[in-house]
Amino acid sequence: MNSWLIIVILSILLIVCIGMLLLLHWDIRRITAQLKDINENFGTNELIRTNTHSRGLIRFITNINQLIHLFKKDQQNNQKREEELKQEITNLSHDLRTPLTSIKGFSELLTDPSLSDAEKKEFLSIIQKKIGNLTMMVDLFYELSQINSSDQQLSMERVSLDQLIVETMLMFYHDFEEKELKIEIDETPVSPVLADKKAVGRIISNIVQNALRYAETYFTIKLKEDGEFILLQAENDITDFPETELQRIFDRTYRMDSSRTGDQLGLGLHIVRQLVHKLEGKIDANVTGDKFQLVVSLKKWA
């Protein structure tokens, strides 16, 4: 009697095991079919679904879904980078074509024998200005490539930020005079910062040039100590700047004059952000009414 009971129990266990194996086999076939469908239609948001109660299989499916999510996220990032690259190529083509067309046109005009000396001098001045703009564009792209290069090493040292601001502002003295901007520099002494002097000089220079381009009546620079950081606060007035565009001003493909009639590329503030991040600092932008403010935070010299 006991032997028959054991045989019945073993038979039931065998049937249960066979049933579980069949269910597992069926689940694996479903998962395989879903994976095939996802591979063939990778642009969808489909993930692996299952009704299994096997913990091991559930963990396996969870890991597969995480991989699918990572692959799709990478695919989206690649697509975004490709679109940005296309936009950059379009922008660069336009930025180079415009001054080159002007240079070509004015060069052809110079061959006109009826031109007066004054007209020739004026056309030559325009050509030289356009050549200067082209040189500036090439320099900006070269600088951007250097910033993003892994070979570019920063030389971290003690930098007197207040002194560097005064030196940089003096370089643009005539530009401020020409634009008739009211300048205010807070010369209150602050602690030095730990930074690459050349990089900080470029940051200040780009901020100043941005103000020269967009400021209406004034430009101010102030320094403030805030814990382990020194804050550089630059402010100028600006006309008709949409607040919705605020966080885009640091993008490589963004420029404020969307009509692209200006002579400068929209890379200045992008380069500022790249350099600030390399120095392990922070940068933020704010617009209140007609006031545009940039705040750069750099680490103090320990």
Mean pLDDT to the nearest integer, 133-159 = 74
pLDDT at 263: 47
**In this predicted model, what pLDDT tens digit does every residue of 69-114 receive, in sequence order?**
888 888 888 888 788 777 767 766 776 787 788 888 888 888 888 8
* Angle subtended at Cα 233 by Cα 185 and Cα 300, rounded to the nearest 5 degrees: 100
Is pLDDT at 169 greater than 80 in this prediction? yes
- DSSP states of 43-79 as a string? TS----------HHHHHHHHHHHHHHHHHHHHHHHHH
**In this predicted model, what pLDDT tens digit does every residue of 245-300 receive, in sequence order?**
777 788 766 665 544 444 444 567 888 888 899 899 999 998 888 899 999 999 99
Specify which residues 223 forms β-bridges with. Answer: 232
Is pLDDT at 163 greater than 70 in this prediction? yes
Q: What is the pTM of this model?
A: 0.62
CB-CB contact of 61 with 48 (8 Å):
yes
Q: Which residue has the higher pLDDT, 3 or 101?
A: 101
Q: How far apart, in whole angstroms, are the C-alpha atoms of residue 154 and residue 197?
A: 9
Mean pLDDT to the nearest integer, 42-50 = 69
Length of the chain (residues): 302
Q: How far apart, in whole angstroms, are the C-alpha atoms of residue 204 and residue 189?
A: 17
**Spans of all domains in the chain:** 87-147, 157-299
Secondary structure of residue 148 in the 3-state scheme: coil
Residue 271 makes CB contacts below 8 A (sequence gap 6+) with 140, 143, 144, 147, 202, 206
pLDDT at 192: 92
Across the chain, what does the average pLDDT equal? Answer: 80
Q: Which residue has the higher pLDDT, 29 or 290?
A: 290
**In this predicted model, what pLDDT tens digit does every residue of 172-231 receive, in sequence order?**
888 888 888 999 988 788 999 999 888 898 899 889 988 888 899 999 999 999 989 999
pLDDT at 148: 65
> If one looks up domain 157-299 in CATH, what number appears?
3.30.565.10
- DSSP states of 242-284 as a string? -GGGGGGGGSTT--S-TT--SSS-TTHHHHHHHHHHHTT-EEE
**CATH class assigned to 87-147:** mainly alpha
**In this predicted model, what pLDDT tens digit does every residue of 118-142 receive, in sequence order?**
888 888 888 888 887 777 777 767 7
